[in-house]
Amino acid sequence: MNAPTRRSATTRSIRRLATLAAAVVLLPLAIAGVSAHGPDPVMNGGPFGQNQDLRFRWRAGSVPPAAIKTAIRSAATDATATRASKAGTFTYDSGGSNPIGYGVGATCGVNGLACFTRTVPTGFTMWLREQGHVFDWGTLKWCQAYATPPNGCYDAETVALDEFGHVEVLGHHGNYANDSDYLDAVVQTYSRTKPAAGWNMHTFGRCDIATLQLQYDMQSWSAKYSTCLDLATDLTLAASPSSISAGGTTKLTASLKVVDYASYVRLGGNPVAGRVVTLQRRAPGTTTWTTVGTMSAGPTSGTYVLNQSLQSDMEYRAVFSTPTNEGINGDTSATVRVYVGYCTAALRTADSLYAPCI
């Protein structure tokens, strides 16, 4: 998290370039694949272990003042509570192996309000600059240093959350040119000061979460995928048995998964449970589908079942409509035909052979 500038547009552009150059110093770990919008880029070094227990202590000789301690601990709680994935957890522990320091000893780049190092799988370090630190643009004010925070202060909890995001694996979000998507991420190159929108963001944004989900996977198969993702799903359907006698019952089982593309990293092939999957049917030779109903949760994650009793052949398909509240796309299964035997002596089967009725 760097300090932005508050000067004329021309000067600001120049300063942004200068600050970007400084950011290379601030973040010596190269960032791969920075892209505009979309999930945050990934830092080199890869993710920590799933749900890795990352404990931090205050750096001896550089212990933050009480209000900053509280902000950092709150940021750790924010990171853990809003990661929506199996990303690492952050907990204060006086015996923790990962030091967080505050003050003039900070090893941050010249424009860094705060900075970090990460070494997978061992641990991390973090620093926050001291209240009153003089940058070339002005003097650092932490909002937590005031009973009534003045405009122009930086929220230490927000800045520390940016740093915890980096420690996890997140690079700075690539915003649109007009920053209209700024609130999609708290892990930002330029932090905002009070009262600009996002100055006190205390949760990971949806595009932070998207990368955490890709890199660490979901907490459960029924958990929602970040709307910053755009994942294809695959829905299959099978009937068992596929041939029944008139009046008999068959079980339709659908299976919903995230398509297993390499670019989906840990999310490819995931079963998708707890969603609404609908069964439709039509008589063979007709074109109009009729909704039978919503399928029930099946025996394994991501499966959905519905029994059907039939007097004549029927075609079925399962439908998963694209949700509006998460980043996976709908899919429709292939058509499955169920064959019904009319006689008492023979039963027609899928390959048109005849077999005795059961």
DSSP class of 184:
G
Size of the site for Zn ion (CB under 5 A): 2
Using CB atoms within 10 A of its CB, is residue 134 exposed (0-12), middle (13-18) or buried (19+)? exposed
Q: CB of residue 175 vs Zn ion: minimum separation in angstroms?
A: 13
Residue range at the interface with Zn ion (CB under 5 A); choices 1-9, 35-43, 60-68, 331-339: 1-9
* In the complex, residue closest to Zn ion by CB: 1
Q: CB of residue 256 vs Zn ion: minimum separation in angstroms?
A: 37
Cβ-based nearer residue to Zn ion, 40 or 331: 40
Cβ-based nearer residue to Zn ion, 31 or 153: 31
Token pair, residue 333, equals 């299964």
Is 292 in contact with 308 (CB distance < 8 Å)? yes
Distance CA 60, CA 73 (A): 17
Among 1, 167, 258, 310, binds Zn ion (CB under 5 A): 1
Q: Are strands 336-341 and 243-245 parallel, antiparallel or unpaired?
A: parallel
Distance CA 28, CA 115 (A): 11
Distance CA 154, CA 28 (A): 24
Residues 6+ apart with CB under 8 A from 290: 280, 281, 282
Per-position x/- string for 141-180, each x denoting binding to Zn ion as judged by CB under 5 A, each - no binding: ---------------------x------------------
Cβ-based nearer residue to Zn ion, 17 or 276: 17
Q: CB of residue 172 vs Zn ion: minimum separation in angstroms?
A: 6
If one asks whether residue 113 binds Zn ion (CB under 5 A), the answer comes out as: no
Q: Are strands 53-58 and 89-92 parallel, antiparallel or unpaired?
A: parallel
Cβ-based nearer residue to Zn ion, 162 or 184: 162
Cβ-based nearer residue to Zn ion, 196 or 358: 196
Restricted to residues 207-266, the positions that interact with Zn ion (CB under 5 A) are none
Identify residue 52 by its one-letter amino acid code. Answer: Q
Cβ-based nearer residue to Zn ion, 157 or 162: 162
Distance CA 242, CA 310 (A): 11
Distance CA 102, CA 113 (A): 10
Cβ-based nearer residue to Zn ion, 191 or 333: 191
Q: CB of residue 163 vs Zn ion: minimum separation in angstroms?
A: 7
Q: CB of residue 48 vs Zn ion: minimum separation in angstroms?
A: 18
Restricted to residues 177-216, the positions that interact with Zn ion (CB under 5 A) are none
Residues 6+ apart with CB under 8 A from 6: 12, 137, 138, 152
Cβ-based nearer residue to Zn ion, 114 or 328: 114
Q: CB of residue 108 vs Zn ion: minimum separation in angstroms?
A: 10
Q: CB of residue 190 vs Zn ion: minimum separation in angstroms?
A: 9
Q: CB of residue 1 vs Zn ion: minimum separation in angstroms?
A: 4
Cβ-based nearer residue to Zn ion, 116 or 339: 116
Q: CB of residue 90 vs Zn ion: minimum separation in angstroms?
A: 16
Token pair, residue 356, equals 């005795």
Distance CA 14, CA 45 (A): 31
| Residue owning tokens 């840990």 | 266
**Backbone phi and psi for residue 150, each to the nearest 5 degrees, phi listed first:** -80, 155
Binding site for Zn ion (CB under 5 A): 1, 162
